[in-house]
């Protein structure tokens, strides 16, 4: 009888065992079974979100390699040891597998469900940003009552689309008795889906299907390090939920908390009232808005930080003692995440302290 296999995730050093009876399940499913959350989305080897690198040990794919989407995992990436954990198993006879997956976290997260939702309200926060409130149906597809939907601050949902490509949006609020979900949706110029919230295609009372909750961009509660949140545009949405939860649940008022929010114009800072309230109520909360195009607003002059958001973070890293020892939570477009990762690496911030959600 072969022994169980051990999987170690770096740099977090999280570990879990795969029993003989579970070796035909994917690495991702075995991790989730052990309350270790690895990044994933489609679970079909299509999106590439669950990409991880094999440091040592052997794995095997559950589908033929020529059927794996090239945009999810390129030939070069495979040669460099990368796999998709949603379509990979531990190889026959392998007893120890080491994977590199920067955003792994130990947590028990609710199981995603497919639910119907009604658009309760739509409110423009800026010329190209819409706050959309969805209200979930009381029952699921099997006509079972769902009660209060549970999710963790920082998670996201997907809205199903008629082009068969679900769109992901971060959840900006916390679970509530009304089962309402707040989204901050930016209209993507030339996009197929998001402009529908601005051109009248989607209306209040329309019904959409959603998959919820998803993602593991959540606060690691086993750390007492300073907290630094870096948001780009509507990347503020999950950070809003995380901070709402943090401040509401006996937050350590001596633990420094920084929020850097980068936008193109001052009007993109659509949550100023909430952020001012947090500054007044929490002496440890430091808010740094950053405007990249300060001249593109005829009505207001901008006297705050300018440039790209990572430039402002760099300034604070140089001038604030021990900020490089913080836990960093990054949410924004891939260019911003890449720039921040390069900056933090240059400042010798451990990869184990960096958590990101790119869109």
Distance CA 334, CA 325 (A): 24
Confidence of residue 299 (pLDDT cuts 50, 70, 90): very low
Write out the H or E segment, with its range, that includes residue 207: strand 207-214
Share of the chain above pLDDT 70, in %: 97
326 pLDDT higher than 70: yes
Whole-Å CA distances, 297 to 186, 303, 307? 19, 13, 15
**What pLDDT, on the 0 to 100 scale, is given for residue 65?**
83
How far separated are the first and last CA of the chain, in Å rounded?
45
Distance CA 244, CA 170 (A): 14
When pLDDT is averaged across residues 46-50 and rounded to a whole number, the result is: 83
**What pLDDT, on the 0 to 100 scale, is given for residue 300?**
60
**pLDDT tens digits for 125-184?**
999 999 999 999 988 777 888 888 999 999 999 999 988 888 999 999 999 999 999 999
Residue 246 half-sphere exposure toward CB, CA atoms < 13 A: 27
Distance CA 105, CA 355 (A): 10
The single residue listed with the structure tokens 């809205």 is 159
Q: Which of 181, 232, 198, 189 is nearest to 130 (CA)?
A: 198
- Regarding predicted confidence, which is higher, 223 or 116? 116
Which residues neighbour 100 within 8 Å (Cβ) at sequence distance 6 or greater? 9, 10, 11, 52, 53, 54, 55
């Amino acid at each position: 009888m072969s022994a169980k296999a051990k999987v170690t995730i770096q740099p977090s050093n999280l570990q879990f065992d795969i029993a003989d009876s579970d070796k035909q399940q994917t690495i991702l499913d075995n991790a989730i079974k052990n309350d270790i959350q690895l990044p994933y989305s489609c679970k079909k080897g299509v999106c590439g979100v669950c990409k991880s690198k094999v440091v040592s040990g052997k794995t095997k794919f559950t589908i033929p390699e020529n059927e794996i989407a090239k945009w999810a995992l390129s030939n070069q990436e495979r040669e460099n040891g990368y796999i998709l954990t949603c379509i990979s198993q531990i190889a026959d006879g392998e007893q120890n597998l080491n994977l590199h997956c920067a955003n792994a976290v130990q947590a028990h997260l609710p199981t995603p469900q497919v639910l119907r939702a009604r658009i309760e309200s739509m409110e423009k926060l800026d010329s190209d940003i819409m706050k959309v409130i969805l209200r979930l149906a009381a029952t699921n597809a099997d006509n079972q009552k769902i009660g209060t939907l549970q999710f963790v601050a920082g998670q996201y949902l997907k809205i199903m689309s008629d082009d068969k490509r679900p769109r992901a949006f971060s959840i900006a609020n916390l679970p509530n008795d009304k089962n309402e979900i707040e989204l901050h949706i930016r209209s993507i110029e030339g996009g197929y889906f998001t402009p529908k919230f601005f051109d009248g295609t989607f209306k209040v009372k329309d019904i959409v299907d959603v998959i919820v909750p998803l993602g593991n961009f959540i606060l690691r509660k086993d750390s007492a390090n300073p907290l630094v949140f870096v948001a780009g545009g509507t990347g503020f949405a999950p950070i809003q939920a995380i901070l709402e939860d943090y401040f509401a649940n006996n937050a350590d008022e001596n633990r420094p908390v920084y929020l850097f929010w980068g936008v193109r114009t001052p009007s993109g800072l659509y949550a100023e009232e909430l952020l001012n309230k947090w500054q007044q109520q929490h002496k440890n909360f430091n808010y740094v808005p950053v405007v990249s195009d300060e001249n593109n607003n005829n009505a207001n002059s901008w006297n705050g930080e300018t440039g790209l958001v990572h430039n402002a973070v760099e300034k604070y890293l140089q001038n604030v003692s021990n900020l490089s020892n913080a836990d960093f939570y990054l949410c924004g477009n891939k260019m911003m995440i890449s720039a921040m990762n390069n900056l933090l690496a240059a400042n010798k911030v451990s990869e184990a302290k960096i958590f990101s959600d790119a869109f």
